[in-house]
Structure 1
Amino acid sequence: MNAYIFPGQGAQFVGMGLDLYEKYPLAQELFEKANDILGFSITDIMFQGTPDELKQTKVTQPAIYLHSVILSKVMGDSFKPDMVAGHSLGEFSALVANGALNFEDGLKLVSQRAQAMQKACELQPSTMAAVLGLEDALVEKLCEETEGIVVPANYNCPGQLVISGEVAAIQAACEKMKEAGARRALVLPVGGAFHSPLMEPAREELAAAIAATQFKEPSCPVYQNVTTTAVTGSKEIQENLIAQLTAPVKWTQSVQQMLADGAKTFTEIGPGKVLQGLVKKIDRSAETQGVELT
């Protein structure tokens, strides 16, 4: 079975999507449509902006979404997923890929999500940190024992977990992780505590936007970050998308479930190769690949 996986924030690079724009009329049409929907020229920033311009949440999230979705569209008949999943933001790309959302609605939701998250970040100083070399259960325990808000946010692969929360709590938790034998406990250069209770204001805003958007029954299951299981009901998909903002991204568990359900090849659709690397760390025998366009 073919599993198609879609990356999240952090996979962006300057120049992303320019090859698609120049080569495919459909890509050019969709990129121009995106500029109109967003009300600014995201293609200018994607194709020739600075890394700092591209790093703004309100730009990064739509940019990665556009690269992933447009790449899947220009694949034409060769794009045949049996199951899909996306890492955080990538879940929206996955839902366009399996027909649960259309291109325009997906982009509007991603843009609203990004702006809501940006606003939530500005309400309270917060951050995230990568913890390498500790068991998940120990990271969870040390987070619970740390004063303030600090929670596991991304279960990326065995031995690689990202924590999220208040700045002081993250710093204190990192010291505990190092004392417990973590190979690294490193504060990340992000402007907010994604996938933590501090995203509650953004969750409420996104819930209203999702409620006003039409979702269809998908063509194949999506393995969502919140549940890690195959989901096909449009109402459940919506609920999980809303919950995702304040809940952890259970990527390790999602990939393990996809493998258990018969996934043979994982194809990453979008910028970079981060997810291919994570899948290999979760199960070395899994086949991974990117997209080779002729």
Structure 2
Amino acid sequence: MSTAFLFPGQGSQSVGMGAELFSRFPNIVEQSDEILGYSIVELCSREDATDLNLTNFTQPALYVVSCLQAKALLEEGKSPKFAAGHSVGEFAALQCAGAFSFSDGLQMVAKRGEIMSKVSGGGMAAVIGMDADKISVVLDEQGADQIDLANFNSPGQIVISGPASQITQVLSPLKDSGARMVVPLKVSGAFHSRMMNEPAAEFAVFLQNFTFSLPQFPVFSNVEAQPYLITESIPELLIKQIFSPVRWTEVIQGLRQNGVEEFIECGPGKVLTKLLRQIP
């Protein structure tokens, strides 16, 4: 039976995440603290989740916890044949497959979170129970020409992203046109949209400081919904990912077509596990 490790993105973070892993891998925790300049244990254990929910803290915290969980599973004998990560989770997936070191990945994710958090004025909303074509029609009717389809999480769950004013403008029209639910997301920016073009350009410069290796087993990219085939495509697609849609439905379908029968979510929560049931 083929196994795939899945690594979650923002929205999966929670107070107390990683507690048992931090005590199991103190050397990696110490390394993380040195890179980040603050205590990852304190950040994740603080009762007030305000900081943990800020993009520049959320992304590195998720990366550390997800990488540690994957390491624990590997030590326990689990052997993934494939991996994939949702948005920032893709970095942990690539690290698990040996595309770069833990420390290099953490530096990349910390920079990614920092530059993405600087773009203000954006918003996102999850549209439940309406397909992409219908959503696009409603956006056109409303003149919401700056909104992009950002996450194809399942056939019945698509996330839109763009200027906060336009997101607010289309909430009721989408509901009135047949969406079962339209839920504004608690995020600080319009991720995976054209509003992220500038951060992506800054990230491209930063990634020139790192070297990459071909993954030791296939890792499906968010941008192409296909495995990385050449080393050069890793930084290229990680840059594009910031302003491109997450094609998660196609990623899961591609994994299944490659014979994956067991999916293990490496990270806090069960967001990706629940989505599996919604993807044919």
Q: TM-score band, normalised by the shorter chain? A: over 0.9
Q: 1:178 aligns with which of 145, 161, 175?
A: 175
**Could you tell me which residue of structure 2 aligns to residue 7 of structure 1?**
8
Matches within 5 A, 1:205-216: 205-216=202-213
The corresponding residue for 1:291 is: none
Alignment of 1:243-254 (within 5 A): 243-254=240-251
Name 2:80's counterpart in structure 1.
Answer: 81
Aligned to 1:95: 94
Give the Cα separation in 2 of the matches to 1:267 and 1:51: 26
Q: How does 1:195-214 map to 2 (within 5 A)?
A: 195-214=192-211
Q: What is the 5 A alignment of 1:138-157?
A: 138-145=134-141, 146-157=143-154
Equivalent residue number for residue 130 of structure 1: 126
Q: What is the letter of the counterpart of residue 46 of structure 1?
A: C
Residue 225 (structure 1) shift: 0.7
SS at match of 1:178: helix
1:17 aligns with 2:18: yes
Contact 1:143–1:151 (8 Å) recurs in 2: no
Q: Distance in 2 between matches of 1:143 and 1:246?
A: 19
Name 1:167's counterpart in structure 2.
164
1:223-265 deviation digits (Å, cap 9, x = unpaired) = 1111001223111122111100000111011101111121111
Unaligned runs of 5+ in 1: 284-294
- Answer yes or no: is the 8 Å Cα contact 1:81–1:98 preserved in 2: no
Following superposition, the deviation at residue 181 of structure 1 comes to 0.7
Letter in 2 for 1:120: V
User: 1:141 Cα shift?
Assistant: 3.0
Structure-2 separation of matches of 1:142 and 1:180 = 8
Which residue of the partner structure matches residue 287 of structure 1?
none
Question: Within 2, Cα distance between the matches of 1:21 and 1:244?
Answer: 29
**SS at 2:127 equivalent:** strand
Instruction: Determine if contact 1:222/1:232 at 8 Å carries over to the other structure.
Output: no
Identical positions, percent: 38
Range with greater deviation from structure 2 (95-104 or 134-143): 134-143
Q: 1:82 offset after TM fit, Å?
A: 0.8
Q: CA RMSD in A?
A: 1.3
Deviation at 1:142, TM superposition (A): 2.6
Higher relative contact order (CA 8 A, sep 6+): 2
Structure 2-normalised TM-score? Answer: 0.95
Equivalent residue for 1:226, pick from 199, 223, 243? 223
Moved more, 61-70 or 45-54: 45-54
Equivalent position amino acid for 2:271 in 1: V
Structure 2 counterpart SS, 1:164: strand
Deviation at 1:77, TM superposition (A): 5.5
User: Structure 2: how far apart are the matches of 1:7 and 1:198?
Assistant: 22
Is the helix fraction higher in 1 or 2? 1
Check the 8 A contact 2:54/2:188 in 1, yes or no.
Answer: no
Separation of aligned partners in 2, 1:238 and 1:207: 8
TM-superposed CA distance for 1:21, in Å, is 2.0
In the alignment, does 2:229 pair up with 1:256? Answer: no
- Worse overlay, 72-81 or 274-283: 72-81
Is the CA contact (8 Å cut-off) linking 1:148 and 1:166 kept in structure 2? no
Q: TM-score, normalised by structure 1?
A: 0.91
SS of alignment partner, residue 266 of structure 1:
strand
Q: 1:66: which partner in 2? A: 64
Is 2:115 the partner of 1:116? yes
Mapped to 2, the partners of 1:270 and 1:120 lie a distance apart of 26
